């Protein structure tokens, strides 16, 4: 009888712990986008949060000469493997792919906006299934303005604002000073090619610090994306972002400007 009671108590305790586990869902457009918030994903995974990464497209058009991988299915397969590697290095769950076409989220379709709605439908299903406490995605600027980034942000916002069950939504962003650092540094593949957008610090009340181990996890996750960056480019990217962040990643909450140092509060 005592043994049965002990088993019951242990089961109840385990069930209670599982019920209380916090969940984060990050939604981005391409494999490698997750690196923009990599240290934060690593931090919360390290702290016991269940962290999921959803990726809208296959990234099959991101051809780079150094990788010698043709576009289409061969590159999509490689990028699946790279995203899986990145998630493993960050300590988060394996990536979830929506399987949409790279660079075509904003295509004129019949019915209109079919691809963006497909992102929204997938996000809605994931939120219903995973019940995240927090959803992280690109801000309306899309980081450096990539149309796929902007449209994923739109689709995620569309879903969250329509749900009766409230979910905390935050947008990844760079302060003006941080963007100046990234745009001013030799940031590898971005330098002279893209211009990172900034957000006034007044709109970025959520500041998430991270540890050296989280920073290392971010660096190792970047190094998974070998089809996209040469080793030299990776080092320059890591240096530019590390210098800009200086141990803190900024987020803009969808609705509030309440000061916070925790995504779950």
Contact (CB, 8 A) for 45 and 91: yes
The CATH fold assigned to 22-253 is: Rossmann fold (3.40.50)
pLDDT at 97 over 60: yes
Q: Give pLDDT tens digits for 12-63.
A: 555 555 558 999 999 999 999 999 999 999 999 999 999 999 999 999 999 9
pLDDT at position 259: 78
pLDDT at position 9: 47
DSSP 23: E
Q: Give pLDDT tens digits for 49-60.
A: 999 999 999 999
β-strands 206-209, 248-253 pairing: antiparallel
Count Cα atoms within 13 angstroms, Cβ side, for 156: 32
């Amino acid at each position: 009888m005592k043994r049965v009671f002990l088993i019951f108590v242990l089961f109840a305790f385990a069930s209670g712990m599982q019920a209380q586990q916090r969940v984060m869902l990050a939604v981005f457009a391409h494999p490698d986008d997750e690196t923009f918030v990599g240290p934060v994903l690593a931090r919360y995974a390290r702290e016991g949060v269940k962290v999921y990464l959803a990726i809208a497209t296959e990234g099959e058009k991101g051809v780079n000469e150094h990788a010698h991988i043709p576009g289409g299915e061969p590159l999509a397969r490689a990028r699946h493997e790279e995203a899986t590697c990145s998630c493993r290095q960050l300590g988060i769950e394996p990536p979830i792919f929506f399987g949409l076409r790279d660079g075509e989220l904003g295509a004129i379709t019949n019915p209109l906006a079919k691809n963006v709605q497909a992102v929204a439908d997938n996000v809605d299903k994931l939120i219903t299934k995973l019940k995240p406490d927090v959803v992280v995605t690109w801000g309306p600027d899309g980081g450096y303005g990539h149309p796929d980034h902007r449209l994923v942000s739109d689709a995620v916002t569309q879903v969250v604002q329509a749900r009766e069950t409230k979910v905390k939504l935050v947008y990844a962003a760079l302060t003006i000073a941080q963007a100046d650092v990234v745009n001013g540094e030799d940031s590898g593949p971005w330098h002279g090619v893209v211009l990172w957008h900034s957000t006034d610090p007044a709109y970025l009340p959520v500041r998430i610090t991270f540890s050296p181990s989280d920073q290392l996890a971010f660096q190792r996750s970047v190094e998974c994306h070998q089809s996209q960056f040469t080793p030299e480019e990776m080092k320059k990217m890591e240096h530019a972002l590390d210098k800009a962040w200086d141990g803190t990643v900024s987020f803009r909450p969808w609705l509030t400007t309440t000061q916070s140092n925790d995504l779950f509060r």
